[in-house]
């Protein structure tokens, strides 16, 4: 058995790095015929939210990374929210206290900070050292309402972790610390809860990002103290952004901050942020704190970006959903972002991923996320997906983008719009932008296109087209055939009519096949737009 799990903390939306971890865990579970678990690690009472937990569940479901045990599914090892397992953790903390492997530590934050400062003054790395307290000290702290934390006595020997990706990783004894396993608020730390849960839930293999590598040695001390076997573990390569830094939600804040400062400088606002507060819903003081890097909130970054018309980097799964990506493309890209198939193949269905996935092919070095490549891959999926599947994915897009103009259309009309643009656009959001003219008449015309295609008889050809279309059956091929008597039967001859029509109908010289567009818009709308274009050029 190779029972795996994905255990996110609901402190925000699902990062694409987390989605890759979940994918690899699921693929290995399916490859080995083992269950795949989802556990929500919500012991951080300050940062964890129910909304974030629900969002993570929805994003995993959208990706098709469905779990065999966990929230909304249940299972024999539940509950699957750590906040509902406190009594379980207390039992094992008490056992470690009784065995002498753990002890109560009474220092508060200020006292711990003083110890850190003293260590820095000695040019040493701070590591907590157990100290003895007098009965009077403990009594005084209790009377004052202070609660202790519980720390684990660290192993006195070097700890080696056999990693299925990186090989053996050893940490010397003098680099190990007496970590906190239960906080003063009574909640377990991440380090303790994850060990207890992985053991009790029968996890055989833990796959997680390399940022957790040094945590694994801390966990080994807990396994050792409890007399349990450490599951297999593998640490996945980090994901870097195009600039070569770790891909982080803070990237959004950086882009929004730079855009706000640039606009403030250009318009000479100085440090007065009231101009931006009006359009974001945040106070000038909140924006000032954001500009000064005292906060990195995603919500305020998104509000600023929307107000300034700035595109933020796509970092979270929710970003890709709202941008109109399909899950197949994102999964396919994430598969190859840290795993080497051993050939040049780029497209995999999920069952093919399962058949090919091998832990030995996980890369050791960091991967660099390429936004252009994942966008290209998404465009390929828009072209390749059967129309019914594409419509199903578009239904999911409309769930997170109710503002899409296509949302008001019935299924057949939506299908026709998607068919017009699936070869030309890489995302559903691009289709929304490109198809805007279907729902709104042009307010103006591209100057170069109008000068080129309305001149030299172009407006007269619009009159001819309107006359030809007056009584014809309103279907693309019939509309094209109606113009043939006025052309020489060549593409160039038809183009002399098609291009003025395209500019009149769309406002630009670029669109899907113009006769398909005319058929979609309908006779009355087309004739009205032709008349409006002619009138605009004779004023």
Residues 63, 333 contacting (CB under 8 angstroms): no
Calpha distance 237→527 (Å, rounded)? 58
Give per-residue burial for 338-358: e unless 16+ CB within 10 Å, then b.
Answer: bbebeeeeeebebeebbebbe
The closest of 534, 512, 519 to 481, measured between CA atoms, is: 519
- Residue identified by tokens 């690690």 is 41
Q: CA separation (Å) from 109 to 114, 184, 407?
A: 9, 11, 53
Q: Where are the alpha helices (DSSP H) in 292-386?
A: 298-308, 317-322, 327-336, 350-356, 371-384
Calpha distance 339→347 (Å, rounded)? 13
In angstroms, how far apart are the furthest CA atoms of the chain? 106
Q: Report helix, strand and coil shares of the chain as percent, to nearest 5.
A: 55, 10, 35
Q: CA separation (Å) from 165 to 238, 363, 472?
A: 13, 7, 67
Calpha distance 487→503 (Å, rounded)? 19
Residue 525, C-beta contacts closer than 8 angstroms, at least 6 positions apart: none
Q: CA separation (Å) from 361 to 65, 142, 165, 356, 397?
A: 21, 54, 8, 10, 33
145: which 2 tokens?
Answer: 């309402």
Half-sphere exposure of 177 (CA within 13 A, CB side): 11
Calpha distance 218→478 (Å, rounded)? 74
Phi-psi label, residue 319: left if phi above 0, alpha if psi -120 to 50, beta otherwise: alpha
- According to the 3-state scheme, what is the secondary structure of 233-275? EEEECCEECCCCCECCCHHHHHHHHHHHHHHHHHCCCCCCCHH
Q: CA separation (Å) from 170 to 20, 127, 218?
A: 26, 18, 12
Calpha distance 376→425 (Å, rounded)? 10
Catalytic machinery residues: 249
């Amino acid at each position: 058995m190779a029972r795996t799990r994905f255990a996110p903390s609901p402190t925000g939306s699902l990062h694409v790095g987390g989605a890759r971890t979940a994918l690899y865990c699921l693929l290995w579970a399916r490859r080995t015929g083992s269950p795949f678990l989802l556990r929500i690690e919500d012991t951080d009472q300050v940062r964890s939210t129910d909304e974030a937990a629900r969002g993570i569940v929805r994003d995993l479901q959208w990706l098709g990374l469905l779990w065999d045990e966990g929230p909304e599914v249940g299972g024999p090892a539940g509950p699957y929210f750590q906040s509902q397992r406190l009594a379980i953790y207390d039992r094992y903390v008490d056992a470690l206290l009784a065995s002498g492997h753990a002890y109560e530590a009474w220092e508060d934050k200020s006292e711990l900070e003083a110890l850190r400062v003293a260590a820095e003054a000695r040019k040493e790395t701070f590591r907590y050292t157990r100290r003895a307290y007098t009965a009077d000290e403990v009594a005084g702290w209790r009377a004052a309402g202070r609660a202790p934390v519980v720390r684990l006595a660290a192993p006195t020997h070097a700890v080696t972790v056999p990693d299925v990706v990186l090989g053996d990783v050893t940490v010397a004894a003098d680099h190990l610390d007496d970590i906190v396993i239960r906080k003063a608020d009574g909640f377990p730390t991440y380090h303790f809860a994850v060990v207890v849960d992985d053991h009790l839930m029968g996890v055989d293999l833990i796959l997680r990002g390399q940022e957790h590598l040094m945590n694994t040695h801390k966990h080994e001390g807990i396994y050792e103290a409890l007399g349990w076997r450490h599951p297999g573990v593998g640490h996945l390569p980090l994901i870097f952004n195009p600039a070569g830094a770790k891909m982080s939600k803070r990237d959004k804040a950086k882009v929004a901050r730079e855009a706000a400062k640039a606009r403030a400088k250009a318009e000479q606002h100085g440090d007065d942020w009231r101009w931006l507060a009006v359009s974001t819903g945040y106070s000038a003081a909140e924006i000032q704190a954001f500009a000064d890097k005292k906060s990195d909130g995603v919500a305020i970054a998104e509000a600023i970006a929307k107000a300034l018309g700035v595109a933020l980097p796509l970092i979270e799964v929710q970003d890709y959903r709202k941008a109109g990506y399909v899950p197949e493309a994102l999964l396919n890209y994430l598969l190859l972002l840290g795993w080497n198939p051993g050939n040049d193949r780029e497209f995999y269905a999920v069952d093919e991923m399962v058949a090919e996935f091998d832990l030995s092919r996980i890369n050791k070095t960091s991967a660099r996320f390429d936004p252009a490549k994942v966008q290209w891959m998404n465009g390929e999926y828009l072209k390749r997906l059967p129309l019914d599947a594409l419509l199903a994915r578009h239904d999911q897009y409309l769930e997170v983008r109710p503002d899409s103009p296509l949302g008001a259309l019935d299924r057949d009309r939506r299908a026709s719009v998607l068919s017009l643009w699936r070869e030309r656009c890489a995302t559903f959001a691009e289709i929304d932008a490109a198809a805007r003219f279907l729902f709104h008449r042009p307010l103006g015309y591209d100057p170069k296109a109008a000068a080129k295609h309305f001149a030299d008889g172009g407006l007269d050809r619009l009159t001819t087209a309107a006359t030809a279309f007056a009584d014809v059956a309103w279907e693309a091929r019939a509309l094209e055939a109606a113009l043939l008597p006025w052309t020489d039967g060549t593409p160039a001859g038809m183009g002399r009519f098609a291009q003025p029509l395209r500019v009149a109908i769309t406002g630009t010289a670029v669109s899907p096949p113009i006769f398909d567009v005319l058929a979609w818009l309908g006779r009355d709308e087309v004739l009205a737009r032709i008349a409006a274009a002619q009138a605009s050029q004779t004023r």
